Amino acid sequence: MLGKKARFAAAVTVGFAALCLPQFSSGDTAPLDYRSSANGSQGKGSTFTSYLACGVSPQAPRATRCPHRGKLAAFFRSPVATTYSLCVTFPDGRRLCSRGQAAEANTLHINQIFGHLKGWYKAVWTAGGQSSVKHLKRT
């Protein structure tokens, strides 16, 4: 059985736990707004949606601040099948990357971020030659 510090170190070493959840069908009420994109436009120029949230549920709203003990997650959705990378910089300067993640079209991908340090977290998604950067502060 691992102690508390060993479990935390193991979680940080792993970096991310990816969960893939299907998009909402047209009959469902989608709790998320997918209109924003990596390049900030809508329509033909949109390539993917990315955001940070306090929680790992598909209903978790976008956030820029989260409580100290809450869960953090990075969300990714693309209208076309693609491969993406996600790099997270932690408040202490450590950087963990998950590269070459396959993303099915119109599927919400949730990457839980394991870390309980207070301060700013920076997430960078890269897909299809475009990047998106988001920041979140754990208080």
DSSP 40-99: S--GGG---EEEEEESSSTTPPB-SEE-TTS-EEEEEE-SS-EEEEEEEE-TTS-EEEEE
pLDDT of 33 over the 60 cut? no
The predicted structure's pLDDT at residue 31: 32
Q: What CATH number is associated with residue 128?
A: 2.60.40
Question: What's the one-letter identity of residue 103?
Answer: A
Show Cβ contacts of residue 116 under 8 Å, excluding neighbours closer than 6 positions.
8, 68, 69, 138
Report the predicted TM-score, pTM, of the whole model to 2 decimal places: 0.69
With respect to residue 69, please indicate whether it lies within any of the assigned structural domains: no
Per-residue pLDDT tens digits for 60-110: 999 999 998 889 999 999 999 999 999 999 999 999 999 999 999 999 999
Q: Residues with Cβ < 8 Å from 26, sequence gap 6 or more? A: none
Residue 32 located in a structural domain: no
How many structural domains is the chain composed of?
1
pLDDT at 115: 86
Domain that holds residue 99: 16-23+79-139
